Amino acid sequence: MYINGEWLITEKTFAVYNPACGEEIGQVADGTRHHAVMAIEAAQAAFSGWAGTTAYKRSECLYRAYELMIERKQQLAELMTREQGKPLKASLNEVQYGADFLRWYAEEAKRVYGETIPSARSDQRFIVHHQPVGVVAAITPWNYPVSMITRKVAPAIAAGCTIVLKPAEATPLCAMAVFEILHDAGIPAGVVNLVTSAEPKPIGEEFCTNVLVKKLTFTGSTPVGKILARDAAPQLKRVSMELGGHAPFIVFDDADPVHAAKGVALIKFLNAGQACISPNRIFVQRSIVETFLKTLKERVVKLQAGNGLESGVTIGPLVNQAAVDKVDKQVVDALAKGATLLHGGKRLVEGNMKNGHFYAPTLLSNVSPDMLIYREETFGPVAAVIAFDSEDEVIAMANDTNYGLAAYVYTQNLSRAMRTFEALQFGIIGINDINPTSAAAPFGGMKESGLGREGARDGLKEYLETKLGGFSI
C-alpha cells in the first residue's frame, strides 16, 4: 500500500491471478480498516498544504505524471493484459486514455475561475470563489484499471483535494503501477494514498462514515453504489457515482446496416463486453435486420478468444467464474424463451483456455422483453438483437430500463437524430459514433446509472465547493 508517501508491506497478503490462465502473478498487501484510517488521516494532514499550492504547481505535477505514464505505456499495458485480461492493443489504448486525464486536468487546474456578480445595492459587491472540497475517498473497478483511477485522481488533485483510493481487488497491481508514477512525478506525501484489500466492505464503510472524508467517488455496480450512497447519507457527504448501464443501440432503416453492424461489433465486444457503456440491447428496424445480422455474424465469427498477449487474439477472458456463469445464465434463459442462436453460446475450455474464464463471442436474434438479457446488464460478449417497426416504439423500448448511462443511434436523417437525442433518457448518446467519450467530455448517467459527471470541466467541479462573499463597502 502507499500511505503518506511511503510503500507499506503487511504480513497478510492476497494473491492476484491472470484471468486468462489462472496463473498467480503477484501478492499484494491485504489492508484493513485500520489502514484506511491511516490513509485518511495522512490525506487530511496533507490537505491544507496541497490546497495552498498554486494551480501552476499542481499542474506541473500532473503533467509530469502524464509524461511518465506515456514513457511507461508498454509495460503498463502488458501488466494490464496479464492482470485484467484484455488484448494488448486494447490495454495500450486504455493507458493512453488514462494519460489523457492527467494531461487534461493539468491544463484545467489553471482554469478554476471565480466571478463577480453585480448587486442591486451600490454599497455591496458579490464575489464567487471555488475551493477544494477536502479529503476524497475513491473506489475504482477492475474493468478499466488504469483510466478509472486517473479519471478520479487527476481532477481531485487538480482541484487541490487530497485522495485515498481503494482499487478493485482483482486489479491492484495496475493501481500500484499508477501510484508509482504519481510518486515519481513529485506529488507530495499524503496527497495521494492507496489502500489495497481483498475485503472491500470494511474499507468502503470507513470511507462512508469517517468525518474527515468530505467526498466519496465510486465506479462500479448500481447495487453497491446504492449501499455506499446510503451509508454516506447521514453526514450528507458529497458523492459521485458512475454505475451500471443497459445501453440500447438503435439502427434505423435509413442507416447503412453494414456500417452499423461493423460499429456494433467493435463496441459490443470491446473488453469482452465488460464495459458500462457496452450496448446490451441492439434494436434494428425490421426491414434491414437480415442484412444487419449477416454482417454482424461475419464479424463475430472472426473474433478470436484467448490470452491477450498472444498474437491475433481480439477478445480476452471475463474477470472470474461468476461472470461466466452470469453470461451463460442469460444465454440459456434467452434460448429457452425463443431466441435464436446464430453463433457462440457456450463456455470456452479448449486448449490454453481451459484454466481461464472464457465465453464464446455470441450472437442472438429474436430477443424479446421477457428474457433476462433484455432486462439485466450482461457485462459479457453477447450481442442481443431485437427487431422494431417504428421510431416511437423503439424509443419506448430503449427507455424501458432503470439505467440511463449510454445509448447509440445510427441514422442519416438529421431530424430523426435530433429527436432521438432529445428523447432518449441517457447521459451519453453516440449518433453514428461508437466512441462518444474523451477526457474533454462529461461522462455520466441518468436514473440508476449514477450521480455527477467525470471528465471535462464538469469533472473538476465535482471536487470544488462554491463560496460566496458579500462585501459591504
Please identify which of the residues 242, 448, 454, 462 carries the catalytic annotation.
Answer: 242
Coil, strand, or helix at residue 137? Answer: strand
Q: Which 8-state DSSP code applies to residue 391?
A: H
Q: Supply angle C-alpha 218, 222, 262, rounded to 5.
A: 95
Please confirm, yes or no, whether 465 is among the known catalytic residues.
Answer: no
CA distance 155 to 146: 15
- Active site annotation includes 242: yes
> Considering Cα of 217, then 223, then 228, then 229, what sign does the dihedral take?
positive
Alpha carbon 57 to its chain's center: 28
Burial profile 450-464: b = 16 or more Cβ within 10 angstroms, e = fewer: bbbbbbbeebbbbbb
Give SS3 for 22.
coil
Grid coordinates of 39: 490513509
The grid cell for 104 is 487534461
The position carrying cell 427487431 is 387
Residue 26: how many CB atoms within 10 A of its CB? Answer: 16
Helix (H) or strand (E) holding 404: strand 403-404
Q: Which residues contact 416 (CB under 8 A, 6 or more apart)?
A: 252, 254, 391
What angle in degrees, to the nearest 10, is found between the helix axes of 257-268 and 289-302? Answer: 40
Alpha carbons 394 and 252: distance in angstroms, whole number = 10
Q: Which of 276, 377, 454, 462 is catalytic?
A: 276
Closest C-alpha among 156, 117, 152 to residue 135:
156
Q: Report the distance separating Cα 467 and Cα 146, nearest Å.
A: 33
Q: Contact, 40 vs 213, CB < 8 A?
A: yes
Determine what percent of the chain falls in helix, strand and coil, rounding each to the nearest 5. Answer: 45, 25, 35
H or E element: which one contains 138?
Answer: strand 135-139
Instruction: Please give the grid coordinates belonging to residue 224.
Output: 453497491
CA dist., res. 90 & res. 357, Å (int): 18
Q: Quick check: helix, strand or coil at residue 382?
A: strand
233 Cβ contact partners less than 8 Å away, ≥ 6 residues apart: none
Q: Which amino acid is at 294?
A: K
Euclidean distance between CA atoms 12 and 22, whole angstroms: 21
Q: What are the catalytic residues?
A: 242, 276
